[in-house]
Chains A and B, each alone.
Chain A
């Protein structure tokens, strides 16, 4: 079994959104409508039921006399976001129908023919990827082009990326390549590059890793994403104790009431 992965390098992204278009084209998903957000050149807002790639436009706070991508200047960064296909995936744990499965490529795949639209995955994804399509009724997310991978093809977004900002390959290879890339960038004077790959958290790393400039928080990439299953122990312990108290209380109340009558 191979672990397929994306390495999305924002230092190479030119913000052309070909990945968004290719994803919609191949997967036959509908448009995001037409809305001027006023948030830089991003009129897509976020990933969702019909949006499985989303190019983020992060503008540095403008300063007089500084602009463009000059290392010391105010930067304008583009980064194509996608489902992280977590090593430990909250959506996969939460799904009560088994519609969400782990594939032979180690990706997380939602089987649309099984999903009944309970929407529990929506509140279980620490990255806010999954969404229920209110017209269709089911939840949807990036399939990691499961159909294309089965046929030995590159995912649609990676295929069309004109600058190799989206690279597709084996996870370990891409992790190495990411480290080499940021070492090279730092040598060239781009000091603020980091690799986003939350391996130290309960998510245990993602199969879509990112190279971004600046704090990943600016790209809504959380430093400490948590799988909700982490809270199960606390929740069920409380439930068990509460159930014990309720049972004991009810027994005492009725035994006491009976005793009074006698």
Chain B
């Protein structure tokens, strides 16, 4: 025993070598399972080795951006048409139509770019399937694009040429189509993601179309206000959208269903909350305050509300898609 002791080398603690071991330990810890059990097991509660039941969506960044752009564009088509019909004399009609047109150009571009085979986009236009929200949505978007293009072309003719009767006809027909197809354009996206197997989306299939309609309206109103429009109609619509969005936030927070977890907890939950606060209570408060402020302050408050709504709408769309990913990863057989 004593001989053995003598044979062992004397260890001098060396800081550098200990630090190397600490580094290796830290790297190795990344591979250690986080839960108490060494490995996941197949169980009734957690399914097959805690592997997801359903696949994650494989859409990329284009889809959440499309939800934002399409929502704003659809609302713009509606606002342009209604403002035109009710005889709004300002540039509002023209600007709303231009936002609608920009969205109508950008939306298909985003959707085509997200396809795995973009060159085959037209395969979608060889069928119409009412049971597929994606098919319905593609046709709605096509019809909306056609409508808003005609309305904008009519306006161009009106301003640059003397074909006034043709210009008026085109503007009217284009506006009718923008209104008729703008309404489903802002709502169908809720059905699109709601009628899927992603638990967090499917649970909210009845909430999402109304939520997205309000979000699209808020974004469009915000954009028009940032261009400089001060119509009281926009203020009223902005207020309405903010009230609805505040209610939507409350409905999400108060729903105790287990499928709601990614919408309330973790990074995806905070993203939903951030989008919700910027779309709901913040613009609601700012717009309410603007009634009691003097003209200059009121205009400033409305601009702040507009920025908050636009940013909030964009974050809300991204947050819902992100929450869907988390929800799919956490899905278990049920």
CB contacts (< 8 Å) of B184 on chain A: these are 239, 243
Task: Using known A-B contacts A215-B44, A217-B44, determine if residue A94 contacts B132 with beta carbons closer than 8 Å.
Answer: yes
Please measure, in the bound complex, the distance between the C-alpha atom of A237 and the C-alpha atom of B208, giving whole angstroms. 11
B121 touches A (CB below 8 Å): yes
Asked whether B208 lies within 8 Å of A238 as measured between CB atoms, the reply is yes
* A254/B39 contact (C-beta < 8 A), A116-B121, A119-B116 known: no
Residue B334 lies at the interface, judged by CB distance under 8 Å to chain A: yes
Supposing A61-B41, A231-B194, A238-B190 touch, asked if A220 and B129 sit within 8 A by C-beta, the answer is no
CB atoms of A256 and B213 under 8 A apart: no
Whole-angstrom distance between the alpha carbons of A126 and B333 in the complex? 9
Q: Is the CB of B131 within 8 A of A229?
A: yes
A246 touches B205 (CB 8 A): no
B236 at interface, CB cutoff 8 A: yes
Task: Give which listed residue, B87, B88, B186, contacts A246 with CB less than 8 A.
Answer: B186
What is the bound-complex CA distance between A134 and B201, given in angstroms?
24
Binary CB contact string for chain B from 290 to 334 against chain A (1 if under 8 A, 0 otherwise):
000000000000000000000000000000000010001001111
B328 partner residues in chain A, CB cutoff 8 A? 123
CB-based nearest B residue for A241: B210
User: Does A185 lie at the interface of the complex (its beta carbon under 8 Å from any beta carbon of B)?
Assistant: no
A137, closest chain B residue (CB): B116
Question: Which residues from B are CB-within-8-Å of A258?
Answer: 86-88
- Determine whether the beta carbon of A220 is less than 8 Å from that of B206: no
Q: Let me know if B55 is at the binding interface, CB within 8 A.
A: yes
Expressed in whole angstroms, the minimum distance between the Cβ of B43 and any Cβ of chain A is 6
Contacts of A240 in B (CB 8 A): 187
- Most B CB contacts (10 A, CB to CB) among A58, A222, A251 go to A222
Q: Given A116, A133, A236, A257, which contacts B115 in the complex, CB threshold below 8 Å? A: A116
**Chain B residues numbered 187-229 whose CB sits less than 8 Å from any CB in chain A:** 187-188, 190-191, 193-198, 201-202, 205-210, 213-214, 217
CA gap between A236 and B53 in the complex, in Å = 26
Bound CA–CA A125/B254 (angstroms): 29
Check A254 against B233 for contact (C-beta < 8 Å). yes
Q: How many Å lie between the Cα of A38 and that of B45 in the bound state? A: 20
Is A125 a contact partner of B186 (Cβ separation < 8 A)? no
Quick one: which of A123, A139, A243, A247 has the most chain B CB within 10 A? A123
**Of B58, B183, B194, B333, the contact of A247 (CB 8 Å cutoff):** B183
How close is B181's CB to chain A, nearest CB, in angstroms?
A: 11
CB–CB A116/B88 < 8 A? no
A117 and B48 contacting across the interface, CB-CB below 8 Å: no
Check B209 against A119 for contact (C-beta < 8 Å). Answer: no
Q: Which residues of A contact B190 (CB under 8 A)?
A: 235, 238-239, 242
Contacts of A24 in B (CB 8 A): none
Chain A neighbourhood of B126, CB < 8 A:
97-98
Inter-subunit contact B132/A257 (CB<8 Å): no
Chain B residue contacts of A229, Cβ below 8 A: 131, 195
B117 contacts A by Cβ under 8 Å:
yes
Tell me, in angstroms, the Cα distance from A130 to B57 when the chains sit together.
Answer: 11
Q: Please tell me the size bucket of the interface on A.
A: 35 or more
CB-based contact A96/B209 at 8 Å: no
Is B54 in contact with A250, judged by CB distance below 8 angstroms?
no
Chain A residues whose C-beta falls within 8 Å of the C-beta of B57 in the assembled complex: 119, 122-123
| Number of residue pairs A-B, CB distance < 8 angstroms | 254
A138 B206 Cβ-Cβ under 8 A: no
CA A252 to CA B79, docked complex, whole Å: 12
Given the known A-B contacts A45-B51, A232-B191, are A95 and B132 also in contact in the complex, defined by CB atoms under 8 Å? yes
Knowing A131-B58, A249-B237, A253-B237 are in contact, say whether A138-B117 is a contact too (CB < 8 A): yes
* Interface check B120, CB cutoff 8 A: yes
> How far, in whole Å, are A21 and B57 apart by their CA atoms in the complex?
27
User: A130 — which chain B residues lie within 8 A by C-beta?
Assistant: 55
List A residues 181-198 near B (Cβ within 8 Å).
none
Between B49, B88, B179, B187, the greatest number of chain A beta carbons within 10 A of the residue's beta carbon is seen for B49
- Residues of B within 8 Å of A138, CB to CB, are 116-117
Residue of A nearest to B236 (CB): A253
Q: Does B266 contact A (CB under 8 A)?
A: no
The answer on a CB contact under 8 Å between B52 and A120 is no
User: Of all chain A residues, which has the CB nearest B33?
Assistant: A38
Q: Which among A56, A136, A237 is the interface contact of B48 at CB below 8 angstroms?
A: A56
Count chain B CB atoms within 10 A of each CB in A46, A97, A223 and give the residue with the most. Answer: A97
Question: Contacts A90-B197, A137-B117 given: A235-B205 contact, CB under 8 Å?
Answer: yes
- Produce 1/0 per residue, A11-33, CB < 8 A to B: 00000000000000000000000
Could you say which of A126, A217, A232, A238 contacts B197, with CB atoms under 8 Å apart? Answer: A126
Partner-B contacts on A (CB < 8 A):
38-40, 42, 45-46, 48, 56, 58-59, 61, 90, 93-99, 114-120, 122-134, 136-139, 215-224, 226, 228-229, 231-232, 234-243, 245-247, 249-258, 260
* A-B interface, 7 closest residue pairs, ranked by CB to CB distance from nearest: A117-B116, A137-B116, A116-B120, A235-B191, A239-B187, A257-B233, A239-B209
A sample of 6 cross-chain residue pairs with beta-carbon separation below 8 angstroms, ordered by A number, consists of A96-B127, A119-B59, A128-B55, A217-B333, A237-B206, A238-B191
| Chain B residues within 8 Å of A, Cβ to Cβ | 39-44, 47-49, 51-55, 57-59, 75, 78-79, 82-83, 86-88, 114-118, 120-121, 123-124, 126-127, 129, 131-135, 138, 179, 183-184, 186-188, 190-191, 193-198, 201-202, 205-210, 213-214, 217, 231-234, 236-237, 240, 324, 328, 331-334
6 additional A-B residue pairs with CB within 8 Å, beyond A90-B197, A222-B333, A231-B205: A96-B134, A128-B197, A222-B334, A232-B133, A257-B88, A257-B231
